[in-house]
Amino acid sequence: MPSRNIAVQKATYDALLAEKRGNESFTSVIRRLLGNQADVSGLAGAWGRARARSDDAALRALRAPVRGRR
């Protein structure tokens, strides 16, 4: 598999190093940490499910990021 080198600040390297598990590669650490953010397909329909449940806490949580952008 092709690879690329990237430069990161020492604090970023140290943070990645602290996240490593056993013999896990830095690539695996980055993919694991970004996995939840990179795949937003799990959010599909979340608004409808929250409304259907009439879950006020879920509705507030879904609206919170939108309020910050206005």
What one-character DSSP code corresponds to residue 63? Answer: H
At 4-28, the pLDDT tens digits run 999 999 999 999 999 999 999 999 9
Is residue 68 situated within a structural domain?
yes
Please check whether residues 68 and 52 belong to one and the same domain: yes
Report residue 8 as tokens. 């990161």
pLDDT range class, residue 48, cuts 50, 70, 90: low
Considering the domain boundaries, does residue 2 fall inside one? no
In this structure, is residue 54 part of a structural domain? yes
Q: Which domain holds residue 58?
A: 43-70
- Residue 35 located in a structural domain: yes
Is the pTM higher than 0.85? The answer reads no
Q: Tokens in use for 22?
A: 């056993």
Work out how many domains the chain is built from and give that number.
2
Residue 43 per-residue DSSP state? G
Q: Is the pLDDT of residue 70 over 90?
A: no
Q: Are residue 11 and residue 35 in the same domain, yes or no?
A: yes
**55 vs 56 pLDDT, higher one:** 56
